[in-house]
Amino acid sequence: MSRQANRGTESKKMSSELFTLTYGALVTQLCKDYENDEDVNKQLDRMGYNIGVRLIEDFLARSNVGRCHDFRETADVIAKVAFKMYLGITPSITNWSPAGDEFSLILENNPLVDFVELPDNHSALIYSNLLCGVLRGALEMVQMAVEAKFVQDTLKGDGVTEIRMRFIRRIEDNLPAGEE
Amino acid sequence: MAVCIAVIAKENYPLYIRSTPTESELKFHYMVHTSLDVVDEKISAMGKALVDQRELYLGLLYPTEDYKVYGYVTNSKVKFVMVVDSSNTALRDNEIRSMFRKLHNSYTDVMCNPFYNPGDRIQSRAFDTMVTSMMIQVC
């Protein structure tokens, strides 16, 4: 139970280089294992999803945030609490769609991509696609189906990294038939 | 200020070499090549002391009529060689040292790029721009 004991609300320090290099090794290994970049993107998203569905439990336990009443609140929690807790950055939220179901997370600096330069033969690779999977997986566990995708990436020469989030629907808990 | 900058692998093959007046490229390549012997000599001569002090800067390798060749070797035995115009007397030892340090930092970043395989030629754009900036600075 020692693991449980040292799990507090304060974030633990870790070497950012180790983190960045670990993620880099993961992505390059995927690039070696799969023929084309689309498959790698898909795989990263799937891995992220698997992380997300687990991480949300940890997040809810540690952050003590309550239920969000609307998507705007969710966006705030993601940017100001979740990103801060796990990546040590606070992305800004902009570009709300008029209907309030879409927004952008702007990452000024993305810790995953320190040192990284995309080679020319991987122009279709979405290097940080894992993040999209994490967001999708985590929100799915709290009854929100969302779509997350990168629309701008500093690796591709854009000034900032932008993740576009779109709310699709609430997932209703459909109880198995015959149970009340 | 520098007219030629080269990064040489541990096994003495070039990882990166750039020189600024492209027409005399061969001459600079030759110059860097010859300087490697001096680098080896310096390392073996004061190898022990060098390791103890963690001094990576090798100083002036050899001066020719028109150019000066400086060397720097990392703890992993990667060599940086820089050819500087002799007429540029304003360039002090300290500045050369700081240029090498900058080069070293930039090289470290290249090594940390997960898409770079150690031992390959360096094709990083960031490294390239850094080298370019060092070449034109005072030219």
> Is residue B81 one of the residues assigned to a domain?
yes
> Is residue A8 one of the residues assigned to a domain?
no
| Count of domains for chain A | 1
Instruction: Give pLDDT tens digits for A96-118.
Output: 999 889 999 999 888 898 888 88
Tokens at residue B49, please? 């002391």
B112 and A21 in contact by Cβ < 8 A?
A: yes
Which of A17, A24, A117 has its CB closest to that of B126?
A117
- Residues of chain B with C-beta less than 8 angstroms from the C-beta of A117: 113, 115-116, 124-126
Instruction: Give pLDDT tens digits for B97-126.
Output: 888 999 999 999 999 999 998 888 898 888
- Whether B21 shows a pLDDT value over 90: the answer reads no
B90–A contact, CB cutoff 8 A: no
Q: What percentage of residues in chain A have a pLDDT greater than 70?
A: 89
A17–B contact, CB cutoff 8 A: yes
The predicted structure's pLDDT at residue B58:
84
Q: Is the distance from CB of B78 to CB of B8 less than 8 angstroms?
A: yes
Nearest to A66 by CA among A74, A84, A145, A58: A74
A179 band by pLDDT with thresholds 50, 70 and 90: very low
Instruction: Round the average pLDDT of chain A to a whole number and report it.
Output: 87
Nearest to A9 by CA among A77, A58, A66: A58
> Is residue A82 one of the residues assigned to a domain?
yes
> Is residue B103 one of the residues assigned to a domain?
yes
B112 and A20 in contact by Cβ < 8 A?
A: yes
Residue count (chain A): 180
CATH number at residue B43: 3.30.450.70
- Whether A177 shows a pLDDT value over 70: the answer reads no
State the Rg of chain A over Cα. 17
> Is residue B139 one of the residues assigned to a domain?
no
In whole angstroms, give the CA distance from residue B19 to residue B37. Answer: 20
Which of B114, B124, B126 has its CB closest to that of A21?
B114
The alpha-carbon gap from A140 to the nearest alpha carbon of chain B, in Å, equals 31
- Whether A154 shows a pLDDT value over 60: the answer reads yes
> Is residue A1 one of the residues assigned to a domain?
no
Give the residue numbers spanning the domain of B89: 2-134
> Is residue A134 one of the residues assigned to a domain?
yes
The predicted structure's pLDDT at residue B92:
79
**Which of the residue ranges A26-35, A41-50, A96-105, B44-53 would you say has the lowest mean pLDDT?**
B44-53
| Count of domains for chain B | 1
> Is residue A74 one of the residues assigned to a domain?
yes
B117–A contact, CB cutoff 8 A: no
The alpha-carbon gap from A40 to the nearest alpha carbon of chain B, in Å, equals 14
- Whether A2 shows a pLDDT value over 60: the answer reads no
Q: What percentage of residues in chain B have a pLDDT greater than 70?
A: 88
CATH number at residue A106: 3.30.1380.20
- Whether A146 shows a pLDDT value over 50: the answer reads yes
> Is residue A6 one of the residues assigned to a domain?
no
- Whether B19 shows a pLDDT value over 80: the answer reads yes
Give the residue numbers spanning the domain of A36: 16-170
Q: How many CB contacts within 8 angstroms connect chain A with chain B? A: 33
DSSP-assigned letter for residue A151: E
> Is residue B64 one of the residues assigned to a domain?
yes
Q: Is the distance from CB of B104 to CB of A15 less than 8 angstroms?
A: no
Over residues A81-107, the mean pLDDT reads: 92
> Is residue A9 one of the residues assigned to a domain?
no
> Is residue A49 one of the residues assigned to a domain?
yes
The predicted structure's pLDDT at residue A180:
45
- Residues of chain B with C-beta less than 8 angstroms from the C-beta of A115: 109-110, 112-114
Phi, psi of A167, deg, nearest 5: -80, 130
